Amino acid sequence: MATFIPSVFANRNGIQQRRNSYEDGVYGTTCPIPPGKNFTYALQVKDQIGSFFYFPSLAFHKAAGGFGGIRILSRPLIPVPFPEPAGDFTVLIGDWYKTDHARLKAILDGGNRLPFPDGILINGRGPNAASFTVDPGKTYRLRISNVGLENTLNFRIQGHVMKLVEVEGTHTLQTTLSSLDVHVGQSYSVLVTADQPSRDYYMAVSTRFTTQVLNTAAVLHYSNSANPVSGEPPSAPTTVDWSLNQARSIRTNLTASGPRPNPQGSYHYGLINVTRTVRLANSAALVNGKQRYAVNSASFVPSDTPLKLADYFKIAGVFRVGSIADNPTGAGVYLETSVMGADHRAFVEIVLENRESVLQSWHLDGYSFFVVGMDGGRWRAASRKQYNLRDAVARCTTQVYPKSWTAVYVALDNVGMWNLRSQLWGRRYLGQQLYLRVYTPSHSVRDEYPIPKNVILCGKAQGKGFAASQSPIPIQ
């Protein structure tokens, strides 16, 4: 499929871009789209289903909006483990700043942390401005994504329960929820039945794990309702333990089909030998008097040339494979264009260690991974005894609770240069990210597609054998 996205950059959060990281829409792989120009992204999604979203990924443009939902439907004749709903709604929730994105970027460039946000938006609208109309007695699918910058949000519907059915492309065991924690960058599908007396109800959203709590609401409108919303919006849970227990309860439906007819449980990830363990610890520090964030002490700084293009054209001096350690070093934070090398088809255990007092959210482009374990305290080798090796959910974004760890398994079957990042956008902008270079010496299209014919060239890649050379593009 191809689409025009009028943005300087557009990343499709969760779309795996199989064999084609050139099209991933982040600065490590792709040159920015010049102002006033168009670019056609080629997306291949035949091996995916589910709920995702797109957003502008360059600089701090995400703070300006420009995001939207992506729905990948199951192919005809492949069964879905629930009846077809009467309607399908995209619900984009996120914290919001009144301050312009350029000013927010200037705050970060000045070495400061982001301020607390001003509010929460639902589908780009303020309190009670977004409305979703339902017919009495019918069931609807809500695809909920947290497209915000910094904060976990809790979602709930006054007087109604939700049935969880899908998480970022994985059909889940169908559990009934009164509210749902959605961490930054995550997407969920729930079913809601309009089985209450006909009137309007609050769809409430509030921040979690913040000293000051922000609240907003949309309206669930029954089509024959003559009564506006009334009463108080439902309250949200308040503890970390509640959220942790909910996260642990999300499991894969092993008998349901995914994008292919075979059951999701036919891939026995728990029986595969792990070939490598990578431990990644996030941290915060001042470097040269300015706020920076790091992974294993390396705080990412972008190069003047996208890493994937430098790799393709064999341009020296842009990055170095192995410039970030596999384990926390305990060293002071330093600036680095962090690239970790990995072998194609390796099966890797990644332990995300959060020794800070803030909740983290981590995302890996190009992949889904199995969230096999999470707990408080320090990770130890003995922590593997509590891993779920049978029906862990496969997803692309996972949370790590304060002073806690999360472990994932990932099969590195997708060649390319892939961004592993904090979804907390201020942290990502100030260095809490790296690139995973999944490499094979093979040059077969079975492993990786050729460089796109419409590739934009910039930095040291300008004029590298392409007819249409490009002018340098400023990051604004």
pLDDT at 472 (0 to 100)? 36
Rounding to the nearest 10 degrees, give the CA dihedral for residues 326, 397, 384, 376: 100
Q: At residue 475, does pLDDT exceed 50?
A: no
Q: For residue 294, give the amino acid letter.
A: A
pLDDT digits (tens, 9 = 90+) for 337-357: 999 999 999 999 999 999 999
Per-residue pLDDT tens digits for 71-87: 999 999 999 999 999 99
Phi, psi of 72 (to 5 degrees): -110, 115
- Is the pTM for the entire model greater than 0.85? yes
Residue 164: name the closest of 178, 151, 177 by CA.
177
How far is the C-alpha of 259 from the C-alpha of 376, rounded, in Å? Answer: 34
pLDDT of residue 43: 81
User: Stretch 243-256: mean pLDDT, rounded?
Assistant: 98
Stretch 203-222: mean pLDDT: 98
* Closest alpha carbon to 400 in 420, 426, 373: 373
- Does pLDDT of 376 surpass 80? yes
**In angstroms, rounded to a whole number, what is the distance separating the alpha carbons of residues 227 and 232?**
15
8 Å CB contact between 180 and 232: no
Distances (CA, A) of 123 to 53, 61, 178, 180, 194: 12, 17, 21, 17, 21
E strand intervals along 288-359: 290-295, 298-300, 320-321, 334-336, 338-343, 347-354
Predicted confidence at residue 11, as pLDDT, reads: 86
Write the DSSP string, 397-415: EEEE-TTEEEEEEEE--S-
For the segment 11-39, the average pLDDT, to the nearest whole number, is 91
Task: State the residue for tokens 């990578």.
Answer: 278
Mean pLDDT of the chain: 94
CB crowding 209-248: b at 16 or more within 10 Å, else e: bbeeebebbbbbbbeebeeebeeebbebbeebeebbebbb
Alpha carbons 360 and 425: distance in angstroms, whole number: 11
The angle formed by the CA atoms of residues 145, 148 and 154, to the nearest 5 degrees, is 60
Cα–Cα dist 469/132, whole Å: 48
Instruction: Give the pLDDT score at 2.
Output: 41
Whether residue 7 has pLDDT greater than 90: no
Please give the single-letter amino acid code of residue 12: R
Over residues 96-108, mean pLDDT: 97
Residue 60 has pLDDT above 80, yes or no: yes
CB 422 within 8 A of CB 375: no
pLDDT, residue 349, reads 98
Report pLDDT digits (tens) over 135-192: 999 999 999 999 999 999 999 999 999 999 999 999 999 999 999 999 999 999 999 9
Q: Let me know the angle formed at the C-alpha of 104 by 103 and 109, rounded to the nearest 5 degrees.
A: 95
**Measured between alpha carbons, how far is 291 from 407 in angstroms, rounded to an integer?**
28
Query: Per-residue confidence at 236, pLDDT binned at 50, 70, 90?
Result: very high
Identify the pLDDT of residue 409. Answer: 98
pLDDT in tens, 27-54: 999 999 988 888 888 888 878 999 999 9
CB atoms within 10 A of CB 396: 26
Cross-strand pairs, 320 = 338
Name the residue with tokens 């680095």. Answer: 336
Cβ neighbors of 359 (< 8 A, separation 6 or more) are 152, 183, 208, 209, 399, 400, 401, 402
State the CB neighbour count (10 A cutoff) for residue 60.
Answer: 24
Strand partners, 370: 394, 409
Count H helices and E strands in the chain, helices first. 4, 31
- In angstroms, the Cα distances linking 1 to 21, 42, 45, 229, 367 are 16, 6, 8, 41, 19
| DSSP per position, 136-166 | TT-EEEEEEEE--SS--EEEEETT--EEEEE
pLDDT tens-digit readout, 410-444:
999 999 999 999 999 999 999 999 999 999 998 89
- Report residue 3's pLDDT band, with 50, 70 and 90 as the boundaries: very low
Q: If you average pLDDT over residues 191-199, what whole number do you get?
A: 98
Task: Supply 30's token pair.
Answer: 């792709």
Query: What does the pLDDT read at residue 37?
Result: 86
Q: Residue 466 — very low, low, confident or very high, per pLDDT cuts 50/70/90?
A: low
> Which pLDDT does position 8 carry in this prediction?
63
Answer yes or no: is pLDDT of 5 > 60: no
Q: Are strands 276-287 and 347-354 parallel, antiparallel or unpaired?
A: parallel
The CA–CA distances, whole Å, from 305 to 21, 59, 79, 214, 460 equal 15, 15, 45, 40, 6
